[in-house]
Amino acid sequence: MPFVSYYSQKEPAAGAVVWRFMNLRKFRDLMANEELYFRRADLFDDETEGLPPEQYVQSVLGLDPWDIEDRRKLDNHLGSLAQFRETYYITCWYLFDQETLKMWEGYGHDGVAIVSSYDLLKAALNKLIDETHIGLVQYGTEHLSGRFNALEFITTKQTKYAHECEVRAMLRCTNPLDGGNRHFDLNSIPHPRPLPMNPRHAWVADHKRRRIALKDLVQSVVISPWAEADDVEEIKLWNRHKGFSSPRDSELRDPKTPTLEEYRKVTGITRRPPEPEAEAAEHEFVRFYEELSTLSEDRVRWLYRQRWDKCCLKPGSLPSTLDVQYLRATLKVLKQMKNAKRS
C-alpha cells in the first residue's frame, strides 16, 4: 500500500544512512525470521509516547486548568489520544551522524546496528499491505504551531530524546470494534488514559511482524563495542549464513573505551528493577464491586469476558494480580445475580 503522508512530515535525503540498534536476541530473531518488528506505540518506555503535553492541549483548546469542566475536557482528549496511539506500530531507526556510547548502551549494548539507507527502508515498507507512514521524528512542540493533529503527535517526542535523531516507520492497524471510550468509568467520567476495568480486545497484539527481503534492506552490520567474544562469533556466523559481507567492529571498540559497567556508573545510568505487580486498593476494589452491582447481568458477563480474553492473550502465563482481583469481583456479582433469580 502506498505511503500516507501527514502534516509537517519531514524526510531525509533518499540515500541518507540509517541504523537500527538492537540487542543480540533481537538480531537473532531478525536473521532467523527475516521479519521487521513493530512495537505498539503505547508500550514504549516513554509513557507519554504519542501524546502532547497537557499544557500544549490546554493552550490550543483554550482550556482553564483550574476549571473542573475544562479538566474533564482535557482528560477526554488525552484519553482519546491514548487509545488512538494503540493503532500505531512502530520500528525505530537512527539517522546516522556518528556513533555514540549513549545509543549503544540504550539499544544494543550486546548486539549490533543494522546499516541501511532511507530509500531502502522506505522501499521495504512500500511492499507491505498495511497503511504505512515514515519520516523524521520532530522534538518539542514548536513545529506544531497550535495544531491539534493526532498523527503529528505520534511523530513528535520530548526534546530530551533529540539525540536519537529518530527515523520512525509505522503501520496503522485499527481495531474495528473499539469504540474509543475505554477511558470512561462507570459514571461516564473521562480519564487521561484507558482504564484497567475496560481492557482492550484480546486480538489487539503488543506487536506486529512483517516479512521482508532482508538482503534488499541490510547493507552492513556493525558490532557493539561491548559485545563479548562468543557473541561476536555468533554475529559473524549469522552474516555468513545470510550471505552478507563480514560485519565490522564499532569504531568505538578501543582499549580506551570504558566498559559497559564503567560507562553506566559514570553517566549515572541504572537499570530499572522489574515493577511490582499492580493491585487494586481496597477502596477501589469496593467501589468497582458496588458499580458492577448496578449493571445488568449481560453487561457484567460482557466485562468478565473482556478481561478473561485479555488474560488469554499470553498463553502459558498466569493472570496478573490485578486481573484476578477484578475477575473475582465480577464472578461474585454474577453469582449474587444468579442466586437472586432463584429466590
Please, which pLDDT band fits residue 16 given cuts at 50, 70 and 90? very high
> 139-146 long-range CB contacts below 8 Å, 24 or more apart?
141/52, 141/53, 141/56, 143/8, 144/8, 144/52, 144/56, 146/59, 146/60
Three cell numbers written together for 131: 497503511
Contact 47, 81 (CB under 8 A): no
Between CA 312 and CA 319 the distance in angstroms is: 8
**Residue-level pLDDT at 203:** 83
Contact 35, 210 (CB under 8 A): yes
Q: What is the pLDDT of residues 226-268, one digit of tens each?
A: 999 999 999 999 999 999 999 999 999 999 999 999 999 999 9
pTM score: 0.78
For residue 336, what is the enclosing H or E element?
Answer: helix 321-342
Contact 173, 183 (CB under 8 A): no
**Residue-level pLDDT at 307:** 78
